[in-house]
Structures are given as C-alpha cells and as structure tokens.
Amino acid sequence: MQKQIDELVKEYGTSISNGLNTISVTKNRKSYGENKIKEKKKTNIFVKFLKSFKDSLILILMASAIISVILDPNEYVDSIIILVVVFFNSILGVVQETKAERSLEALKKMSSPTSKVIRDGHTIEIPSEELVVGDIMLIEAGDHISADARIIESYSLAVDESALTGESLPVHKSEGSLQNEAISLGDQKNCVFSSTYITSGKAKVLVTQVGMNTEMGKIAGMLNEQIDATTPLQHKLSSVGKVIGIMALIICALVFILEMIAEWKNGSILSKVWVDCFKTAIALAVAAIPEGLATVVTIVLAIGVGKMSKRNAIVKRLPAVETLGSCSVICSDKTGTLTQNKMIVQKLYCDEIKSLKYLNKKEKDLLEYFAICCDATLEKNGAIGDPTEIALLEANHTYGNPLDNINKVFELPFDSDRKMMTTVIKKNGSYLAITKGAFDVIIEHSTNFLEEKNKAKRANEYLAKDALRVLALGVQRFSSKPSESMLEKKIEFLGLVGMMDPARPEVKEAIKIASTAGIRTVMVTGDHITTATAIAKELGILDEKHKAITATELDKISDEKLKDTIEEYSVFARVAPKDKVRIVEAWQKKDAIVAMTGDGVNDAPALKKADIGCAMGITGTDVSKEAADMILVDDNFSTIVSAVKQGRGIYDNIKKCVKYLLSSNIGEVFVIFFASLLSALTNISMGVPLLPIHLLWINLITDSLPAFGIGMEEVEDSIMEEQPRAKKEGFFAHHMSIQIFIEGLIIGICATAAYAIGHFLEHSHMLGQTMAFFTLSTSQLLHAYNVKSKHSLFSIESYKNHFLNFAIFIGLVLQFVVVYCPGVNTLFKFTPLSPTNLVICLGLSLLICVYSELFKNDDKR
C-alpha cells in the first residue's frame, strides 16, 4: 500500500507491459502460495454419531442395559428397549444437527471463475485459481476481483466493496501510494480486493496477495480458527444431565446397599441375592434418567423452528433458537440491516432546502439536469449502474421532468482527481453542458455572485450535518458545440441534492421494543462515522449517554480496556472484520449473550464468534448465511424482535418440560427408594414396586406425550417485558429445584401408598405393581396441567392447549390398555384392577393437583 509500483514490480519479478513469464509464475506460486481458500476439515457423520454417546445419561443407560443382560440373559427385553431408545436419540440428534461448515465453499464460489492477465507479453484469460502474486491483471466494469491488487493505472474506476467493508457506496479508486500505514480497509484507494465488484471504469492492476493472504483469505482463516461455541441452552442441559447422572449413580449404590441389608436381615445368602439387588439398582437407574428428555427437547426446538420460519426467521441449528431469546446485546450491521441498502434523494436545494414532494419548475429542471448527467439506466427489471446515479434517476422519475428526446452529444466521465462529470446535450439549437460533482469543486469553478455562493455553502454544511451525501450541479451554455477544453471552467451553479441510505421505517419501533426487553442494540458498520452517527441517532441507538468510535481509535484501545469500556459505545464505524470479532468478544467478557446481524463477507467471522449469528436472507452473501446460526428471510430487523420473543417462549417451555419430566422421574425414584428403605429398616419385605419395563413405558410414553404438549404452549406477550436472563443464571434458578423435589416426593408417596395397598392389603405383589404403575402414570399425566401455566385448573385458560389435551387423553387410554388388555398386560406382568382399586388409584393421583392448586399463587414458575 505504501510502496511504489516500481518497488513491487522489482520485488515480484514482473513487468508492467509484459507481465510474468512462465518461469516466474511457477516461482511466485511456490513463494507466495496458490489462489485458493483452505477448507476446515469437516467431521465425519459417523464420528458425529459416536460423539453423541459422550453424554453422561446415555453412558449410564447403556451400562445398565449391558450389565442387566450379562447378569440375567433371559431378561433381555428391557436391555433391548434401553439400547433402542439410546440409538434412536443419537440418530435424531445427528440428523437435526444440520449446521454444515460450508462457509469456505461459499467463499470460493464468490470468486470470479476467470481472470484476464498479461503473461509473456500476451493478454490471456486464465482460471482465477491460477492467479499468482506478480500477475498484471486487467479489470473493467462488471468484473468480480479474484485477488488483492495494487492499481497501476485506472480510468474512472469505482468498486463496490460493500460485501467486504459494509460501505454502501462504490469507492472511487486511483493509482499512487498512501503515506499513512494505519489506514482502514475502506480507505485504501490505491488497492482492489478479492470478492469485490467493479461498478464502472477499468484498470490495470498488480496482484499483491492471493488465496489465504488476501483480505478474504484472512476472514477464511478466522472462520477456521474459531471453535463452534455451545449455546447457553446446551450448557444448561449438559449440566442437568451431569447432575442427574451423579444422583442416579449415588442413589443406585445406596439402594443396592439397602437391598443387601434387607436380604441379610431376612437371612438370605448374600452370594445368591446380590444379582437381584443389582437388578433393583438398575431399575432405579432407569427410573432416575429421563430417557425422553433429549427427544422432547429436540422436538420442542423443532416446533419452535417451524413457528419461526413462518415469521421469516430460518434457524439452522436447533439449540440456537433459545440463544437469541436470551441475548442481551444485538450487534447490528448498518447497511442493509438497519438501512434499506439503497441511496435515496432526501433533500434538494435551489433557492432553499426542501423535500421533493412540492417542487416548482426551476427545482424540477434541476432534478432533470441531475438525471441527464448520469450513466446509470432504469430498466423494467431493475436499475443498472452506480447507486448514487440510480437515486438521481429515480428521484427525477418520481418528482421531476420526463427524460424525453434528450440529445446527448458527448460527456466527460467522472474522474477522482477532477471530482466532476460533465454531459453535453443539444437543446433548441444550442448546447448545454451539465456538470455534477463535489460541492467544493463546483462552487470553486462557478461564476455566481458571492452572496449566492455563501448561501450555497451554508446549505451544503446543513445537509452534510444531517449525514447526507451532497452533490452539486452547474451548467454552461454554448451557441456552438464546445470542445473539452472549454468545459468545467465558468460554471453557473444551480443547486444541490442530499441523499443517503435511509433507515428502514420499521426498525425504530423494533429497537424500542428490544430496549423494553432489556436488549442493547449496537451499530457495527464499515461506513463513515458521520453517516453512522446520524442513522444511529435517528433510530434511537445513540443517545447522550453513549459514544461513537472509529476503527482507528479502537485499535489504540487494549483488549482489557475495551472490556471495561465496551458499554460506553453504541456506534463502531469504519470497522474491519477483526474489529467486529473484538467487539463481540468484549461484550462476551462482560457476560453478555451477543447476537450479531450482518449480510456481508466481512461479517462472517463475527457472526460465527457471536453466541448467535443472524444473516440477511435477501442481501446476505453466501458466506454470511453459512457462518450464521439464523437467516432473516426478509432482511427485516423487526424479525429479530419476533425471534427474541419466540426464543424466550421456547426456553420457558423447555424449562417447563424439564420440570415436568424430572418431577415425574424423582417420583419414580422415591417409589423404589422408599421400598428399599422400608425393607432395610424393618422386617417387612417390600419387594420391587416397579420393573425397568414399567419405568421405560412411563418415561417414554406417559411422560413424553404431555411434555410435547407443554412444549407447544403459545408464547405470552408479557414475556417481552421481562429482562434477559443472566448468563450465569442456573437452569434451576428461582427455587425450581425445590419445587421439582417436593412435587416428585408427593408423586412418589402416592404411588408407594398404592403399591402398599395392593401388596399388603390385597396380598398380591402383581396387583401392588399394577396399582403403583397406574397411580404413578396417572398422577404424572394430570401433573402436566399444573406445570403448563400459572393459571388455575378451574380456569378455561388451562385447557386451551388442544395438543396437550389430546396427549393426556391418549396417555390415559394407553394406561388402560396395558392394564386391562389381555396379552399386553401379561407382557407387562400386570393384573386388571377392580373398580375399587381403580378409584383408589385415581384418588391418589389427584393429590398432586390439590397440592399444586393450593400453592400455585406462590409458585414462581
């Protein structure tokens, strides 16, 4: 960037006129590398499947199944069921984990397939992958750049760098060297970069970086280095699993000891009974572990994904649904996310500054002249050309004069040195030269009176303060066709237009709603600080309490200081990809859960680094979409607010599901534990109240169906009035663990009582097991209504979830089938219940509802 072209030519062993020779191409490719993006090694699907077995609950279940069949090969049914459940959950997890690492493939697709270079004195076209450092490349309007390069010579060159820098306007480029070393990517006017697009002009350039050394390659390197972060939900569920696993092992060991003590007191020979005791412990392990939890959570998340897709948010990875709902900071790109990604003329100055709605003839003529002095065109299928010129054409089309019978004679194209463009037209036998360009240049060449110039300067300053891009226009009149040397000298200044990429109209309200929900919105953009600040103030992102900062200023701040001061800034301007990652990391160090939105290639590393990345579906590049966790189909910032609401609702539903499933499992644990404890402390032989097959049926059928129903609860609007959850908040916060324990204890006591009635009063172990099973399963089904909402069971609100109503009905029907259907009850070792025993079971099952109803008002669910 700072070196002279002659120095680079000598360094790379090339020639400006002849390019590289064959030997130099081979040498430079070996020295500087190939023009390829290295891919991150992907995980084999079989390896993904094996990794799914690392879960502690899965390992305990598999160990239980294997030990059970070793101890008693005849009791293989339970073991097979356990293993089928384990494999089903693992397969489902691999299938649902659809986030593929295709970011680098997308990067490769963005490259131009061929490039025009000079080699051995001949102009040839080669595949872009064959470009090497030192190649002399020829580029023109419409080309996608395939490598980073220095400009040797250029003609009216303008480059769209929005995908790389985030700046919405094309950047005018020119040759020469830059003196400042600490200059941002968007200000490197003498360079062109890989994956950018030429909007106008042409140039001869010298390739300086290829492959992984290009700015695009550095982004690819960032994507390779980053490790896929687990979401808060994954962390919390993993913690739940570990806690359950440890508890299961401890209780299993305790029950095994109690069973051995009971058998010893009864005078049994220990060597003969330890196998039975171990079976009881295994039954307890099955009871303690909620086998359906992983499946239920996965399906609840999938249901949430379906709902969000209908609201224009496509989620690529299921656990990410919840993360956006728990986010406390949204780092948003400006161009195309907060703004419309389209230049629009906002103000016009002729004799006064005004909007475009009510123009007089003089002002309409001014708009017409601006439109004539353009190279862009408006087509039926869309506009073609520079966004600034398209904005002028559209403004004139709507508010100005029709461009009929315009006779263009010739033009002087825009030049970055002159900062002007002139179009000469023939009108009514005379010639009119229309010049548009930068205000300071036009006014310097104008012949207007001093008072008019001063008034125009004040208007220009006023428009510039509003962060509008200002263009000036003047004319020259000739009786005969003028020569080029006569143009752009004595100009009659006519007026100004101010344009900008305006904010999306719905974004301001969305940011306000996010603020009410305790979510901080921060603008992170590659655009100039003046423009970014104006948009941020208009949208309510930037206020007197917070500041705006540029990338140059940001570079001077250490990571430690940035962590301490990150909350002071609401706008980050002229940022590079590495800056966006730093900003996300600084917020994360403050324990914030960060969502990052963006649409450009430059956003990809930050999208991947953030707790959840949200890419734009319409304007977003393939790279940003592949790096993100979520894609906003309509590019609408307000869609994020809807996604936050859904995410919060999904998390709330998952907590309810976990509470329901764990309280049910603890109830099962207590049934077996109470029996073992009573056997050990007394001379009463309680036996085993429930077999592993009974517990598996309850966990997979009785519990899972209502859990799905709970997961389908509609999100309440009031959820957006709550503050975001703290990042370190435990999954069982707000006394949830105590509630689970008490509810499980009540369910366990009721089922134990039912078992005791059948086992002792009716003198039938099979009847006792049947009554324990029916009471346990029925109480758990009814408990679903307690968990689903804060509403009383006597309120109609408790029964609006039709899926839950259906699930509980089906669950009750299935309980009657396994108890009363011949053949089925034999498999489960059940006996049909008499009407009296059935009433007893139903009465005991209702006690959990009585408890919940009494304490519901005090229970912060």
Check if 859 is active-site.
no
Integer Cα distance of 495 and 499 in angstroms? 14
Structure tokens, 273: 């009974």
Planar angle of CA 620, 165, 41, nearest 5 degrees: 65
* Amino acid of residue 584: V
For residues 15, 19, 24 and 30, what is the CA-based torsion angle, rounded to 10 degrees? 110
Residue 542 has φ and ψ, to the nearest 5°, of -110, 125
Contact criterion met (CB below 8 Å) for 322 and 654 = yes
Contact criterion met (CB below 8 Å) for 720 and 737 = no
18, HSE (Cβ side, Cα atoms, 13 Å):
10
* N residues, the chain: 861
Is the sign of the CA dihedral 259, 264, 270, 273 positive or negative? Answer: negative
CA 271 and chain centroid, separation: 59
CA distance from start to end of the chain: 61
CA 101 and chain centroid, separation: 15
Continuous segment of H or E residues that includes residue 410 = strand 407-415
Integer Cα distance of 521 and 644 in angstroms? 13
Can you spell out the DSSP letters for 426-464?
EETTEEEEEEEE-HHHHHHTB---HHHHHHHHHHHHHHH
**160 burial class (0-12, 13-18, 19+ CB within 10 angstroms)?**
buried
Contact criterion met (CB below 8 Å) for 208 and 8 = yes
Of residues 208, 198, 152, the one with CA closest to residue 17: 152
Integer Cα distance of 668 and 780 in angstroms? 10
What is each CA distance from 322 to 116, 413, 643, 644, in whole angstroms? Answer: 48, 53, 9, 8
Show the DSSP H helices in 610-686 as ranges.
Answer: 622-627, 637-681
78, 333, 611, 652: the active-site residue: 333
For the annotated catalytic residues, the residue numbers are 333
